[in-house]
Chains A and B, each alone.
Chain A
Amino acid sequence: QVQLQESGPGLVKASETLSLTCTVSGGSISTYYWSWIRQPPGKGLEWIGYIYYTGSTKYNPSLKSRVIISGDTSKKEFSLKLSSVTAADTAVYYCASLSGNSYGLDYWGQGTLVTVSS
């Protein structure tokens, strides 16, 4: 059973960089595409991107210019950096495991709310 846990600051100032880390336990780091998804308050889900254990990444084109997803396989962690944040980036950020076979997000972290302040 894979378990994921997000960690990072809950408050970020506008124009700065949002940084979050997801720690993976109970599963093989090479099995999934490790993904970030966000959900603004009261709104729907938005896929941000993923990193594979090989280091390859793919990002949502709408965020690509501001996003970097990196990973540390030895620590079973992967991270999200989103630069030049605005109030529109206020959301619950989830890390999740994307199956490369089914493209379903099998396991999710509990989510962490990040608020962008002016």
Chain B
Amino acid sequence: QSALTQPASVSGSPGQSITISCIGTSSDVGNYDYVSWYQQHPGKAPRLMIYEVTNRPSGVSNRFSGSKSGNTASLTISGLQAEDEADYYCSSFTSDRALVVFGGGTTLTVL
């Protein structure tokens, strides 16, 4: 069981927007703005898409955005494209003995 809870799958049509949630606790998401999101295509390494809840690394499309409310962080992808079809993972700093915790991952299907 992962420390952070994500939906197993989401889907959307090209051009639409989708949101992936990441539910944590007051030990991680709720108390720290150190939430990151990663995109992983099959057979590839994860790629950092969002860090510190809302920031995008250089080279990441502005169609990707992050937010947080209470113990729940969210990743929104607008203007869905076929290339966005991938697995997405959230992570957070945690004050528990582990430094970094991950969500279980969400598979995005572009219909």
| B102 and A104 form a contact (CB under 8 A) | no
Determine the chain A residues whose CB is within 8 A of the CB of B103 once the complex forms: 44
| A58 and B99 form a contact (CB under 8 A) | yes
Contact (A45, B45) CB under 8 Å given A102-B51, A105-B36: no
- Say whether A67 faces chain B, with CB atoms less than 8 Å apart: no
Q: How many A-B residue pairs have CB under 8 A?
A: 66
What class of interface size applies to chain B in its complex with A?
Answer: 20 to 34
**Interface size of A by Cβ–Cβ distance < 8 Å?**
22
Interface string of B55-89 (1 = CB under 8 A from A): 10100000000000000000000000000000001
- Say whether B10 faces chain A, with CB atoms less than 8 Å apart: no
| B99 and A108 form a contact (CB under 8 A) | no
B residues apposed to A, CB below 8 Å: 2, 32, 34, 36, 38, 45-48, 51-52, 55, 57, 89, 91-93, 97-105
